[in-house]
Amino acid sequence: MVFKSMKMLRVLFVAFAFASVIPIAWPTAWAADLDSLRSSGAVGERYDGLAVARDGSASDFVSATNAKRTQIYQERANKEGVSVKQVGMVYAKQIMNKAPSGTWFQAEDGSWVQK
């Protein structure tokens, strides 16, 4: 009986360890992918804090990125009592400062500039 409970304890420990690593490793990998896509020019950033697929192959990645960002912006907007667009524009400045060289940025008038 002790062996079965020790085995179960070990399985639970491994499952817990794996589950606790996923949330930490996944955003890091996602950020690395985003940086490489921005550096290559496949993904750009907009004035409102959303990403833009400059290459069709990045469309799905950009959609997922923007869904996550929009959720964050919405939560922040609700907390601060401001619009989602205002929050996005604040984040856009932070994104611009942290983005790697070569990242393309789209201004409100639709023009593009490269960092």
Tell me the sheet residues that pair with 14: none
pTM attached to this predicted model: 0.71
Element (H, E) at 20: helix 2-40
CA-to-CA separations, 95 to 4, 9, 17, 21, 22, in angstroms, rounded: 51, 43, 32, 25, 24
Q: Which residues contact 10 (CB under 8 A, 6 or more apart)?
A: none
Q: Where are the domains of the chain?
A: 2-114
Structure confidence by residue, pLDDT tens digits, 63-115:
999 999 999 999 999 999 999 999 999 999 999 999 998 999 999 999 999 99
Unique residue bearing structure tokens 């469309």: 59
Give the contacts of 62 (CB within 8 A, at least 6 positions apart): 43, 51, 52, 53
How far, in whole angstroms, is CA 81 from its chain's centroid? 23
The model's pLDDT over 20-51, given as tens digits with 9 standing for 90+, comes to 443 443 344 445 589 999 999 999 999 999 99
